[in-house]
């Protein structure tokens, strides 16, 4: 089962509901970002007194409020952390430093010193500058949350950087999910393709890749799991991505929705990518082009499977058949199209049945003729 972290933070929430969620065992971590803090600080009355007494620039005031909340979150999660049950609270470096390696390192080290909690995680964007900062901070023993990961390339770079973490430190790779679907759904609908699947399929592909690397203290965290589509259940992405050795960071409305539900691991979702990969690896299929987004279609009957793929490709111009594996050999598109033109299994069985039945049919006709002749001996003369 995945761990569940809250993707929400506000001072009154920490004092009340968050403590209850942690004590119940449902939640064992919390994440934040500048947008979450901005929403909390501007809309909640819990910060009014602090803001009236604090001095400095807006950024300095923001940071004092944010670090105080993160310290409180770390303290609430302290027992979870000591028990080895996650117990991390994340704070993000300034977005302005996304392309500044040195600035990211300096701010991360300053936040670690100011907050002074061993279960603190520093969130760093997965940019080229961020990868370098992650590696340096990992070597210094800082818990890292690599965030804004959308592609396998970013995830692999993050994994490479986080592999430098000491054994007693943790790293997570935050893969964003629902934003893919919200961006692509309109395009997919216009092409008569399924909606709301790209996000979690991409996330599962990254998850399998990171799992294969077997970095003991690095896990995938599924982020951006809130549902904006009215026709989907709030826990849609939870059902798709509740995977072993992973983390689901969920907005508060989703956590409240699943409080009383029995959560099940989404192991069948892994199969869509993992089983295919195992099959390809075991058959030494290095010649298949699996770059970009792929749909893997398999079946016991190569002809029927070829017919299905070819028919779909002919009606969906953006769908391209890349290659196939037929009779333990890699087949090109021409061979797939040739197979698609052959009679299918049902047609062949029908033809074979007709051949088998011909002698029986002729024999039956002969018997009927003989019977008719015996019953009416004068009619056939």
Instruction: Give the C-alpha separation, 145 to 120, whole Å.
Output: 10
Q: How many residues does the chain have?
A: 381
Q: Are 208 and 274 in contact (CB under 8 A)?
A: yes
Q: Which of 123, 205, 269, 307 is catalytic?
A: 123
Residue 335 falls in the annotated catalytic set: no
Cβ atoms within 10 Å, residue 187: 12
Tokens of 107: 């701010």
Give the count of alpha carbons within 13 A of 292, CB side only.
5
Would you call 271 helix, strand, or coil by DSSP? helix
Of 138, 216, 128, 209, nearest to 175 by C-alpha is: 209
Distances (CA, A) of 348 to 304, 352, 358: 12, 6, 15
Strands (E), the chain: 3-6, 29-30, 88-92, 120-125, 144-149, 171-176, 218-223, 246-250, 324-326, 329-331
Residue 3: strand pairing partners: 247
Structure tokens at 363: 């024999």
Active site residues: 123
């Amino acid at each position: 089962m995945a761990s569940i972290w809250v993707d929400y933070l506000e001072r009154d929430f920490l004092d009340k509901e968050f403590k209850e969620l942690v004590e119940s065992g449902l939640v064992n971590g919390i994440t934040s970002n500048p947008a979450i803090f901005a929403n909390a600080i501007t809309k909640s009355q819990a910060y009014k007194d602090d803001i009236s007494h604090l001095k400095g620039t807006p950024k300095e005031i923001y940071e004092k409020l944010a670090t105080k909340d993160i310290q409180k979150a770390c303290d609430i999660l302290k027992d979870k952390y000591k028990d080895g049950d996650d117990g991390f609270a994340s704070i993000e470096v300034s977005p302005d430093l996304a392309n500044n390696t040195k600035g990211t390192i300096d701010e991360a080290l300053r936040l670690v010193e100011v907050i002074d909690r061993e279960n603190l995680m520093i969130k760093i964007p997965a940019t080229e500058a961020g990868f370098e900062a992650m590696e340096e901070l990992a070597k210094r023993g800082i818990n890292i949350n690599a965030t804004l990961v959308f592609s396998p390339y970013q995830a692999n770079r993050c994994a490479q950087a986080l592999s430098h973490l000491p054994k007693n430190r943790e790293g997570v790779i935050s893969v964003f999910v629902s934003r893919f679907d919200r961006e692509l759904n309109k395009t997919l609908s216009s092409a008569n393709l399924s909606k709301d699947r790209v996000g979690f399929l991409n996330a599962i592909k990254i998850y399998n890749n990171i799992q294969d690397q077997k970095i003991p203290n690095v896990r995938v965290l599924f982020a951006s799991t809130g549902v904006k589509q009215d026709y989907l259940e709030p826990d849609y992405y939870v059902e798709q991505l509740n995977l072993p050795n992973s983390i689901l960071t969920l907005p508060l409305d989703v956590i409240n929705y699943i409080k009383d539900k029995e959560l099940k691991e989404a192991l069948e979702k892994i199969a869509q990518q993992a089983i295919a990969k195992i099959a390809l690896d075991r058959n030494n299929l290095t010649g298949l082009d699996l770059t970009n987004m792929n749909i893997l279609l398999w079946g016991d009957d190569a002809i029927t499977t070829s017919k299905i793929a070819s028919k779909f490709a002919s009606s969906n111009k953006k769908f391209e058949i890349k290659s196939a594996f037929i009779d333990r050999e890699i087949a090109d598109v021409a061979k797939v199209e040739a197979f698609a033109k052959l009679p299918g299994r049902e047609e062949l069985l029908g033809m074979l049945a007709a051949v088998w039945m011909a002698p029986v049919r002729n024999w039956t006709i002969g018997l009927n003729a003989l019977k008719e002749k015996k019953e009416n001996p004068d009619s056939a003369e």
